[in-house]
Amino acid sequence: MQSDNPTAAILVIGDEILSGRTREGNAHHLAQVLNATGFDLREIRVVADDHDQIVAAIRALDRSLGGAYDLLFTSGGIGPTHDDITADAVAAAHGTTVEINEEARALLQARCERMGTELTPNRLRMARVPVGARLLDNAVSAAPGFSIGNTHVMAGVPEVFRGMVDWLIPRLAGGRPVQSQTVEVRRGESEVADELGVLALEFPDLSLGSYPYHDERGWGTNLVVRGLDAGRVGAAMAELKKRLGL
């Protein structure tokens, strides 16, 4: 699909994802939001809680560091425990250091006072932010995410992550939302491959995909046409249905 929208990547950080203990859903959620708000998601990468791996990934993905994409969104590793090392790795990638951010400290202190708890050293770890970073609002648990360069760092807890996404995305300059149409056929993927291939040549600016499934009635395929121009998407879908006799 041809696109002039800002490009983006998602970096998911955490041993729990790679071990299979936790089912990853943050990237799936953010991918939907990005497509709907005019960002061209090009890559999703998962790395362990390893400082060097995180640094290397950030440098490879954030264009402000010579990487591949206009925007980088990360998920995970900014909590209160020893294995929450994302802030340190992001700082290293961007050539800065980490310190207790006084605005973040105040946010955490206010929450602790409301909850009747103490701002312990472990909780205070969530106020450690790279020098020069901008805070991202966290309406769920107060501990902020942050942005530095083109890297936007968010929590791994799904509810908190989604809240940060809701706050951040409207503040970024997106492009044209992706338009999509789908038709379902009760045929196997191989039975529609020729028609889809010909149509792809006729509409090179669009993305055409086939997604087979199997249920109690046998094989079926969802055929999807995606693009930035609703008229072109509609024309391609009409031609596809015509070729398939629908």
pLDDT digits (tens, 9 = 90+) for 63-78: 999 999 999 999 999 9
Q: In the predicted model, what is the mean pLDDT of the chain?
A: 96
121 and 14 in one domain? yes
User: What total number of domains does the chain contain?
Assistant: 2
Residue with tokens 């993927």: 189
Angle between helices 230-244 and 193-202 (to 10 degrees): 150
With 0-12 / 13-18 / 19 or more C-beta atoms within 10 angstroms meaning exposed / middle / buried, residue 209 is middle
Last residue of a domain, one of 120, 136, 171: 171
pLDDT on residue 132: 97
Residue 153 lies in a domain: yes
Provide the domain limits for residue 76.
7-171
Residues 36 and 65 in one domain: yes
- Rounded to two decimals, what is the model's pTM? 0.93
Alpha helices per DSSP H over the chain:
15-18, 26-36, 51-61, 86-93, 102-115, 121-124, 158-168, 193-202, 230-244
| Whether 210 and 109 share a structural domain | no
Domain boundary among 113, 143, 171: 171
d(CA 108, CA 113): 9
DSSP assignment, residue 2? Answer: -
Average pLDDT over residues 156-183: 97
Burial annotation 149-168 (CB, 10 A radius, 16+ → b, else e): bbbbbbbbbeebbbbbbebb
pLDDT at 83: 87
Number of helices (H), then strands (E), belonging to the chain: the values are 9, 11
| pLDDT mean over 168-190 | 96
Q: What is the pLDDT of residue 1?
A: 85
* Predicted local confidence at residue 221, as pLDDT: 97
Would you say residue 2 lies in a domain? no
For 189-233, write each residue's pLDDT tens digit: 999 999 999 999 999 999 999 999 999 999 999 999 999 999 999
Each residue's pLDDT tens digit, 102-160? 999 999 999 999 999 999 999 999 999 999 999 999 999 999 999 999 999 999 999 99
Provide the CATH number for the domain around residue 68. 3.40.980.10
Percent of the chain with pLDDT over 70: 100
Burial class (CB within 10 angstroms; exposed 0-12, middle 13-18, buried 19+) of 61:
buried
**Is 1 within a domain?**
no
What's the whole-number mean pLDDT along residues 180-186?
96
